[in-house]
């Protein structure tokens, strides 16, 4: 269900061309020449019109159906005698086609030419009189010496199975074609034909196979000689075993067979069949049972598909043998109830055939799979055709004749219902008004007619008569029949005022189709006319103006409304079916998530396609530069259409998830968009790897902002991916959001966050995890939170110098995060059993302390709030962790704060408490925090508390405020430094750690020990850096101190930009030194600083960011 | 159950009823049982929707059901609004041997609650109760607790208990949503008539259009085929069809 929206979007493209028969290959509104050509001659998609020329086809006189069988071996064909047809001769890669229908596609690509293809209902079908001749079926082409024509070709065909050794049928049929064109034209045509014929030789084998399965071969061979009598009767469907429906005598089957035999003898059969007016007439009166399948195959064009890939059916079955799918489950359910009244489908034989055909098709077209009603249609086909024939005919039905009928949204069905309604409105306004007034919905009645091709509605024998014409003349037949049904029953229907009566009128009509239409007539001939015959006459005479063109115009007209309806239904259902979690989000949010989810997937798919095309074009361009522009574009169109037919994605991978988040949360937008000059760190994760140069001009992220790639996002992705599928469905996303946003309970939010970092789910987060949490907090907070200001406003904030208030908040957050780390380590539990008892005591104490701390923190916060938004503050804000912890321990003197007066007292004594806490920081003693500890630490800080209460949840912006698509890149350049620094730092750390850690034996067990090692290594590195800087520290420190003092007093940065800049720079360096100073001097402290080091660096970069802004 | 003609002395009103549910849970069979008192093993799948009518005699009135029996396959879902439009009652069917069909039924209930006419009476029906052995509904509770274990038990065991949805579960859900609840067997006919009677009783008197007099806009007072229901209970008001 979730995939429907996308399908609909695709369907939009799919129907777009407003084609009589859907044409996925052209993206403009007019069908392409090639499509028209293929549809006119019912050729496979591999064919395209190469040559065309006006020509006159001459068939020897006996080719007319005079009733007496002419001698097929007769050679006395004379020009000027026999039947002449003037039309167009077309040549494609593998076919030579002729039609008397106006079939010039020269100035095609217009709807006018598509109308020519539709044909009138009487006499000429879509393909008119003529032939569709596979080149491999041509045995010889001679150029005739003729006085009257410049070019005359005599074509001899294989006429039937090419390996017939039969003496009595030594030659195939001969047709003479005069080309009417300039000498050049003719010669070009003939050259192309020659080439095609040469190519065609290799297809002869296929032709032999395919033709051998046709009944007409058997029928005509019968009288030839004894040898051919031993030929096996070809499979002409289940009817051969279980009898064909209807009374053969009543259907005058024998007469029909005789007439067809004559016709086929004279006009060629299977591949070489020539369509003359009699052909259409013979189809109109109903096909004989054994020939029905073959003629369906020929008129629908599925014969040519089979000719192209004769083994496709068996190969598909073999390839997927034993595999299971949803479609197969659905097929199984319906096998026993497909035309169950027909004896063939009460047997395992018939059921088996049906199963195989439906299954094979579901594999070849997985986006359609299986749709109820296909079973009925296929069951009907199987009465008259072999499995293979039915398989290919089903393809033609789904792809061309009934586009979108059986798709997962059934948009084709719904659309054609709409079209049918509008045709009723147009042709029978009174009835239509009546329907509207009585509130009868026509489509509830007519939908099954179209969906199962009347097979379910009419008695079988009549439904097959409709099908005979349908395959020849196309989908318009369904409309014509439908209109005629309503017209004939108009009087009665005008009396019906509800669905029930309406349906019963039609039901009883269908039940009496075989009765006389005029039972009381004096005229016996008139009395003999059955209701069905009347129906056919009304359909094809009265509604002869309903052409394929009419249908396609109407389809184009109603397409949008129908698709919009489906979309809204799909969305509604899909949202409703999201499960219990979705109840925690409001409808608008769900709608928003739905739209956003599928928009991201859809856009990504589109982009991937365009990029693919770019790549293709580039590849082509390397070969030949000049001509590619044109071909490239056409190739693009083809590509687009093709993919539109494929299944649509419903799963979101990690990259898509990032993009999805970037549209919803500010923090998910990267700080350093990968412009061509970005560093490799960024491009490494980018969608296109490091190949920035080969990247096409359009961003891989489309018009939206480039998403960030942070560990937190990955964790979120993993957390939401409950099925471990490495991708998210809409359901996953909604459940995820429900957990984040659906609760107003701060405790729940805190636990959620904790669980995100509790990798092994044991209720503990270790040292590394704590650091990661704090990193994530900073990551999430770096653009502020979802306050009342719109994201765009916040963005501009960042861009154009920060408002004091905002930057204040940032500082507070920074300090809170630092405090968080400090406290975490302070209250962490050592991961060692022997410490447990001590720890319990400690915990108790700490719990007590914590309350008083809360008050302290508030003071602290007030202090900070008063501080100006200057680099100094940025710097001082790096300290509060230390500050806080010291305050907590009640020893102000040991505060390693950067303020001068405090600095002085730095090397003072630590309290026992601090020592105890620091003991927990010993890298050799693994530690962890539990959820209660985590909770306590969070609640101890107002800012963090707020963050978990509202900040985090509201950082996702759903329906209420749609995230505006800002041109972010310019703004974001300010962040790129910060981002780079951060990543550089972490990368650096990681690298060193990897090296150093390798040599150290992990003190703990397993992963936990490893992590501890990593942390301690990181600290060692940090300590090393600090020691080196120690020398310069003191002077710098002083310098910075003065600068800071200045700024503390002066809140007008504009007055001394230069100074500020300098100050800021020092501050940037200073902070780390500061940290180092305190860390380097005292061992316990050093380990502590080591822990926070990454964050300090972050703060530092934060400072430098501000510097840059001031500079600007 | 044959229709006793269009001239009932009791007040008569028609009710549009729609059947929804997963494919092959037995919607059509239920209707066949109710309308024709007949059961066909191989029922043709419903294409779009089938339309049938049947009367239900209550002590005080007669309800004529206009039944829309919809196709169950997922992709037909987008056609469903066409059928449940204006419906006054709905039968949401699941298969007691298939837990997933109950989930689907729940989706339909939600859809109906949100999209269908406000006062719609919904009955949740667990069909194929003939496949469960007697009194297993409690045992099935336990089986449900260990669903993996009893996967094939029904097929192989002599008990031939294929029940996979405990009565309790479905009933609890029905209570929660305020639905009528029944377990039926279209095959044996068990409870089938009861479902429709219960629905007929549950339709509030006020939502019925009452006996139809003359006066519908296109009312020609024609004589209906007795098999066919005489009118719809739509908003257009009283229509022909009943003598009183």
Nearest CA in chain B to A368: B75
B227 vs A504: CB contact, 8 Å cut-off?
A: yes
pLDDT confidence tier of residue B134, bands split at 50, 70 and 90: low
Q: Say whether both A205 and A314 belong to one domain.
A: no
CB contacts, 8 Å: B40 with chain A: 340
Q: What is the mean pLDDT of residues B73-101?
A: 89
**Residue where one domain finishes, among candidates A401, A432, A452:** A401
A500 vs B78: CB contact, 8 Å cut-off?
A: no
Write down the pLDDT at residue A823.
Answer: 76
Structural domain includes residue B238: no
Find the domain containing B165 and state its range: 12-207
User: Where are the extended beta strands (E) located within A122-218?
Assistant: 130-134, 138-143, 151-157, 174-180
Does residue A577 sit at the B interface (CB-CB below 8 Å)? yes
Q: What is the mean pLDDT of residues A1055-1075?
A: 43
Residue B237, token pair as written in the block:
């008001």
Which of A956, A954, A934 is CA-nearest to residue A754?
A934
Structural domain includes residue B232: no
Cβ atoms of A1058 and A892 within 8 Å: the answer is no
CATH number for B155? 3.40.50.300
Q: Say whether both A949 and A1006 belong to one domain.
A: no
Number of domains chain B contains:
1
With a CB-CB cutoff of 8 Å, which residues 480-539 of chain A face chain B? Answer: 494-495, 497-501, 503-504, 508
Structural domain includes residue B227: no
pLDDT confidence tier of residue A379, bands split at 50, 70 and 90: very high
B110 vs A576: CB contact, 8 Å cut-off?
A: yes
A497 vs B85: CB contact, 8 Å cut-off?
A: no
B47 vs A376: CB contact, 8 Å cut-off?
A: yes
Separation of alpha carbons A236 and A242, rounded Å: 11
B44 vs A439: CB contact, 8 Å cut-off?
A: no
Structural domain includes residue B127: yes
**Residue where one domain finishes, among candidates A519, A553, A587:** A553
Region for residue A268 given its phi and psi (left: phi exceeds 0; alpha: psi -120 to 50; beta: otherwise)? left
> Which one of A434, A493, A573, A591 would you mutate to disrupt binding with B, by most B Cβ within 10 Å of its Cβ?
A573
Q: pTM for the whole thing? A: 0.66
- What is the tens place of the pLDDT at every residue in A3-44? 444 555 555 444 433 333 333 333 334 566 777 778 878 888
- Percent share of chain A, pLDDT over 70: 58
Backbone torsions φ then ψ of A826, nearest 5 degrees: -65, -40
Q: Say whether both A955 and A994 belong to one domain.
A: no
pLDDT confidence tier of residue A133, bands split at 50, 70 and 90: confident
Size of interface A-B (CB pairs under 8 A): 137
Average pLDDT for chain B: 74
Write down the pLDDT at residue A860.
Answer: 40
Average pLDDT for chain A: 68
Q: Which residue has the higher pLDDT, A504 or A1089?
A: A504
pLDDT confidence tier of residue A739, bands split at 50, 70 and 90: confident
pLDDT confidence tier of residue A765, bands split at 50, 70 and 90: confident
- What is the tens place of the pLDDT at every residue in A115-125? 333 333 333 34
Q: In this complex, which of A372, A438, A504 lies closest to B47 when CB atoms are compared?
A: A372
User: Where are the extended beta strands (E) located within A773-813?
Assistant: none
Structural domain includes residue A271: no
With a CB-CB cutoff of 8 Å, which residues 24-83 of chain B face chain A? Answer: 24, 40-49, 51, 53, 66, 68, 71-79, 81-83
pLDDT at A584 over 50: yes
Region for residue A692 given its phi and psi (left: phi exceeds 0; alpha: psi -120 to 50; beta: otherwise)? alpha
pLDDT confidence tier of residue A702, bands split at 50, 70 and 90: low
Q: How many CB atoms lie within 10 A of CB A340?
A: 16
DSSP assignment of B180-235: EEEE--TTT-TTHHHHHHHHHHHS-GGGS--S--S--TT---PPPPTTS------T
Nearest CA in chain A to B43: A337
- What is the tens place of the pLDDT at every residue in A771-800? 777 777 777 777 665 443 334 333 433 444
Q: Which residue has the higher pLDDT, B74 or A425?
A: A425
> Which one of A378, A441, A442, A497 would you mutate to disrupt binding with B, by most B Cβ within 10 Å of its Cβ?
A497
The alpha carbon of residue B47 is apart from the nearest alpha carbon of chain A, in Å, by: 6
Bridge partners of A756, per DSSP, are none
pLDDT at A358 over 80: yes
Q: What is the mean pLDDT of residues B49-75?
A: 87
- What is the tens place of the pLDDT at every residue in A459-499? 999 999 999 999 988 889 999 999 999 999 999 999 988 88
The verdict on ipTM greater than 0.95 is no
CB contacts, 8 Å: A441 with chain B: 82, 85
Q: What is the mean pLDDT of residues A745-763?
A: 76
Find the domain containing A483 and state its range: 411-553
Structural domain includes residue A737: yes
Cα Rg of chain B, angstroms:
19
Structural domain includes residue B67: yes
CB contacts, 8 Å: B82 with chain A: 441, 443-444, 447
Q: Say whether both A811 and A868 belong to one domain.
A: yes
Structural domain includes residue B58: yes
> Which one of B13, B29, B72, B78 would you mutate to disrupt binding with A, by most A Cβ within 10 Å of its Cβ?
B78
Q: Say whether both A54 and A170 belong to one domain.
A: yes
Structural domain includes residue A885: yes
Separation of alpha carbons A818 and A64, rounded Å: 98
Q: Say whether both A741 and A770 belong to one domain.
A: yes
A444 vs B41: CB contact, 8 Å cut-off?
A: no
Q: Say whether both A177 and A37 belong to one domain.
A: yes
Structural domain includes residue A268: no
The alpha carbon of residue A230 is apart from the nearest alpha carbon of chain B, in Å, by: 40
Q: Say whether both A390 and A418 belong to one domain.
A: no
Burial A775-791 (b: 16+ CB within 10 A, else e): bbbbbbbbbbbbeebeb
Structural domain includes residue A686: no
Structural domain includes residue A687: no
pLDDT at A359 over 60: yes
Q: Say whether both A31 and A114 belong to one domain.
A: yes
CATH number for A423? 1.10.472.80
Q: In this complex, which of B42, B83, B239 lies closest to A444 when CB atoms are compared?
A: B83
Asked which of A53-67, A262-276, B87-101 is least confident by mean pLDDT, the reply is: A53-67
Residue A1020, token pair as written in the block:
């060692």
**Residue where one domain finishes, among candidates A553, A572, A601:** A553
Q: Say whether both A310 and A433 belong to one domain.
A: no
Cβ atoms of A822 and A1088 within 8 Å: the answer is yes
Does residue B225 sit at the A interface (CB-CB below 8 Å)? yes
Asked which of A271-285, A324-338, A662-676, A877-891 is least confident by mean pLDDT, the reply is: A877-891
The alpha carbon of residue B4 is apart from the nearest alpha carbon of chain A, in Å, by: 17
Bridge partners of B12, per DSSP, are B62
B48 vs A497: CB contact, 8 Å cut-off?
A: no
B220 vs A566: CB contact, 8 Å cut-off?
A: no
Asked which of A613-627, A977-991, B109-123 is least confident by mean pLDDT, the reply is: A977-991
Q: What is the mean pLDDT of residues A269-295?
A: 89
- Percent share of chain B, pLDDT over 70: 67
pLDDT at A411 over 80: yes
> Which one of B44, B98, B103 would you mutate to disrupt binding with A, by most A Cβ within 10 Å of its Cβ?
B44
Q: Say whether both A206 and A306 belong to one domain.
A: no
CB contacts, 8 Å: A339 with chain B: 44
CB contacts, 8 Å: A437 with chain B: 217-218
Q: Which residue has the higher pLDDT, A98 or A981?
A: A98
Structural domain includes residue A617: no
Number of domains chain A contains:
5
pLDDT at A694 over 50: no
Structural domain includes residue B223: no
Write down the pLDDT at residue A102.
Answer: 58
Q: In this complex, which of B42, B49, B74 lies closest to A336 when CB atoms are compared?
A: B42
Q: Say whether both A379 and A470 belong to one domain.
A: no
Structural domain includes residue A219: no
Structural domain includes residue B242: no
């Amino acid at each position: 269900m979730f995939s429907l929206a996308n399908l609909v979007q695709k369907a939009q493209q799919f129907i777009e061309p407003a084609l009589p028969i859907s044409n996925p290959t052209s993206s403009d509104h007019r069908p392409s020449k090639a499509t028209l050509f293929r549809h006119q001659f019912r050729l496979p998609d591999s064919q395209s019109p190469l040559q065309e020329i006006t020509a006159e086809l001459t068939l020897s006189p006996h080719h007319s159906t005079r009733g007496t069988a002419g001698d097929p071996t007769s050679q006395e064909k004379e020009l000027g005698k026999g039947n002449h047809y003037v039309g167009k001769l077309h040549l494609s890669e593998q076919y030579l086609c002729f039609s008397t229908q106006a079939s010039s596609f020269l100035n095609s690509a217009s709807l006018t030419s598509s109308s020519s293809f539709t044909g009138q209902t009487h006499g000429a079908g879509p393909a008119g009189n003529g032939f569709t001749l596979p080149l491999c079926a041509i045995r010889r082409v001679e150029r005739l010496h003729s006085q009257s024509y410049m070019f005359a070709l005599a074509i001899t065909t294989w006429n039937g199975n090419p390996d017939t050794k039969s003496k009595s049928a030594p030659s195939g049929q001969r047709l003479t074609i005069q080309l009417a064109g300039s000498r050049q034209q003719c010669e070009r045509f003939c050259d192309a034909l020659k080439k095609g014929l040469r190519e065609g030789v290799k297809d002869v084998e296929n032709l032999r196979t395919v033709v051998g399965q046709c009944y007409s071969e058997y029928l005509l061979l019968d009288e030839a000689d004894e040898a051919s009598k031993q030929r096996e009767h070809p499979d002409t469907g289940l009817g051969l075993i279980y009898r064909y429906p209807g009374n053969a005598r009543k259907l005058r089957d024998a007469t029909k067979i005789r007439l067809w035999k004559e016709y086929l003898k004279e006009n060629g059969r299977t591949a070489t069949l020539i369509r003359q007016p009699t052909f259409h007439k013979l189809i109109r009166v109903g096909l004989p049972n054994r020939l029905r399948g073959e003629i369906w195959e020929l008129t629908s064009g599925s014969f040519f598909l089979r000719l192209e890939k004769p083994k496709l059916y068996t190969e598909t079955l073999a390839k997927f043998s034993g595999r299971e799918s949803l479609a197969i489950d659905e097929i199984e359910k319906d096998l026993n109830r497909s035309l169950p009244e027909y004896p063939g489908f009460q047997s395992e034989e018939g059921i088996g055939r049906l199963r195989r055909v439906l299954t094979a098709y579901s594999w070849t077209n997985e986006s359609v799979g299986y749709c109820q009603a296909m079973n009925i249609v296929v069951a009907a086909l199987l009465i008259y055709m072999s499995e293979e024939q039915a398989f290919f005919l089903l393809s033609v039905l789904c792809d061309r004749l009934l586009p979108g009928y059986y798709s997962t949204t059934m948009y084709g069905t719904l659309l054609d219902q709409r079209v049918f309604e509008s045709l009723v409105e147009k042709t029978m306004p009174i009835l239509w008004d009546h329907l509207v007034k009585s509130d009868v919905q026509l489509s509830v009645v007519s939908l099954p007619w179209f969906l199962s091709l009347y097979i379910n509605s009419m008695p079988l024998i009549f439904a097959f008569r409709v099908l005979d014409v349908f395959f020849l003349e196309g989908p318009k037949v369904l409309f014509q029949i439908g209109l005629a049904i309503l017209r004939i029953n108009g009087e009665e229907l005008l009396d019906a005022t509800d669905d029930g009566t309406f349906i019963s009128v039609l039901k009883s009509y269908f039940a009496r189709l075989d009765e006389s239409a005029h039972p009381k007539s004096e005229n016996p001939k008139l009395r003999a006319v059955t209701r069905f015959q009347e129906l056919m006459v009304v359909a094809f005479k009265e509604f002869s103006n309903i052409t394929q063109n009419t249908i396609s115009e109407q389809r184009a007209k109603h397409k949008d409304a129908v698709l919009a309806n489906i979309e809204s239904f799909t969305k509604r259902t899909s949202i409703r079916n999201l499960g219990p979690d979705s109840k925690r989000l409001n409808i608008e949010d769900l709608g928003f998530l739905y739209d956003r989810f599928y928009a991201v997937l859809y856009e990504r798919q589109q982009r991937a396609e365009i990029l693919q095309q770019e790549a293709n074009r580039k590849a082509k361009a390397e070969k030949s530069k000049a001509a590619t522009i044109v071909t490239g574009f056409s190739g693009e169109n083809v590509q687009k259409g093709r993919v539109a037919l494929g299944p649509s994605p419903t799963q979101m991978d990690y990259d898509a998830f990032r993009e999805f988040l970037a549209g919803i949360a500010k923090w998910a937008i990267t700080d350093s968009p990968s412009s061509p000059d970005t560093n490799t760190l960024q491009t490494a994760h980018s969608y296109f790897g490091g190949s920035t140069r080969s990247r096409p001009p359009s961003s891989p992220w489309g018009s939206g902002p480039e998403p960030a790639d942070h560990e937190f996002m990955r964790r979120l992705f993993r957390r939401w991916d409950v099925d471990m599928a490495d991708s998210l469905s809409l359901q996953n996303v909604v459940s995820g959001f429900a957990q984040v946003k659906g609760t107003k309970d701060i405790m729940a939010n805190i636990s959620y966050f904790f669980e995100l970092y509790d990798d092994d789910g044991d209720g503990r987060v270790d040292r590394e995890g704590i650091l990661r949490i704090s990193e994530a907090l900073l990551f999430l907070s770096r653009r502020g939170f979802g306050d009342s200001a719109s994201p765009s406003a916040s963005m501009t904030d960042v861009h154009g110098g920060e408002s004091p208030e905002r930057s204040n908040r940032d500082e507070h957050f920074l300090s809170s995060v630092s405090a968080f780390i400090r406290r975490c380590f302070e209250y962490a539990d050592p991961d060692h059993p022997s410490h447990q008892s001590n720890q319990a005591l400690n915990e108790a104490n700490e719990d007590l302390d914590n309350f008083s701390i809360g008050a302290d923190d508030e003071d602290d916060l007030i202090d900070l709030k008063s501080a100006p938004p200057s680099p100094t503050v940025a710097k001082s804000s790096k300290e509060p962790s230390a500050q806080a912890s010291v305050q907590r321990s009640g020893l102000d003197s040991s505060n390693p704060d950067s303020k001068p007066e405090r600095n002085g007292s730095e090397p003072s004594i630590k309290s026992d408490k601090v020592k105890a806490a620091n003991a927990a920081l010993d890298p050799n003693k693994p530690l962890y925090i539990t959820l209660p500890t985590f909770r306590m630490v969070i609640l101890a800080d107002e800012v963090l508390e707020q963050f978990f209460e509202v900040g985090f949840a509201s950082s996702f912006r759903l329906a209420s405020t749609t995230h505006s698509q800002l041109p972010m890149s310019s703004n974001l350049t300010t962040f790129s430094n910060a981002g780079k620094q951060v990543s550089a730092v972490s990368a650096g750390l990681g690298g060193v750690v990897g090296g150093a850690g390798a040599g150290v034996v992990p003190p703990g067990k397993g992963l936990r020990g490893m992590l501890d090692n990593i942390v301690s290594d990181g600290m060692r590195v940090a300590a090393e850096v600090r020691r080196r800087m120690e020398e310069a520290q003191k002077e710098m420190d002083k310098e910075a101190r003065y600068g800071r003092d200045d700024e503390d007093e002066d809140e007008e940065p504009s007055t001394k930009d230069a100074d500020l800049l300098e100050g800021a720079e020092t501050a940037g360096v200073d902070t780390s030194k500061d940290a180092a100073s305190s860390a380097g001097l005292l061992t316990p402290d050093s380990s502590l600083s080591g822990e926070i080091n990454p964050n300090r660096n972050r703060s530092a970069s934060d400072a430098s960011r501000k510097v840059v802004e001031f500079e600007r | 159950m044959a229709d006793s003609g269009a001239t009932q002395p009791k007040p008569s009103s028609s009710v549009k009823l729609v059947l929804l549910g997963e494919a092959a849970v037995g919607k059509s069979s239920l209707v066949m049982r109710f309308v024709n008192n007949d059961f066909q093993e191989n029922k043709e799948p419903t294409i779009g929707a089938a339309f049938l009518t049947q009367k239900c005699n209550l002590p005080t009135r007669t309800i004529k059901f206009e039944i829309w029996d919809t196709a169950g396959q997922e992709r037909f879902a987008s056609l469903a609004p066409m059928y449940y439009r204006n419906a006054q009652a709905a039968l949401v069917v699941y298969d007691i041997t298939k837990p997933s069909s109950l989930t689907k039924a729940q989706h339909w209930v939600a859809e109906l609650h949100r999209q269908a006419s406000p006062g719609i009476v919904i009955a949740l029906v667990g069909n194929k109760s003939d496949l469960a052995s007697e009194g297993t509904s409690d045992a099935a509770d336990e089986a449900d607790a260990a669903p993996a274990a009893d996967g094939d038990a029904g097929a192989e065991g002599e008990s031939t208990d294929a029940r996979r949805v405990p009565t309790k579960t479905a009933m609890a859900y029905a209570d929660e949503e305020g639905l009528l609840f029944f377990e039926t067997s279209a095959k044996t006919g068990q409870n089938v008539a009861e479902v429709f009677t219960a629905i007929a009783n549950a339709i509030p008197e006020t939502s019925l259009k009452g006996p139809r007099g003359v006066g519908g806009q296109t009312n020609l007072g024609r004589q209906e085929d007795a098999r066919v229901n005489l009118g719809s209970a739509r908003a257009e008001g009283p229509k022909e069809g009943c003598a009183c």
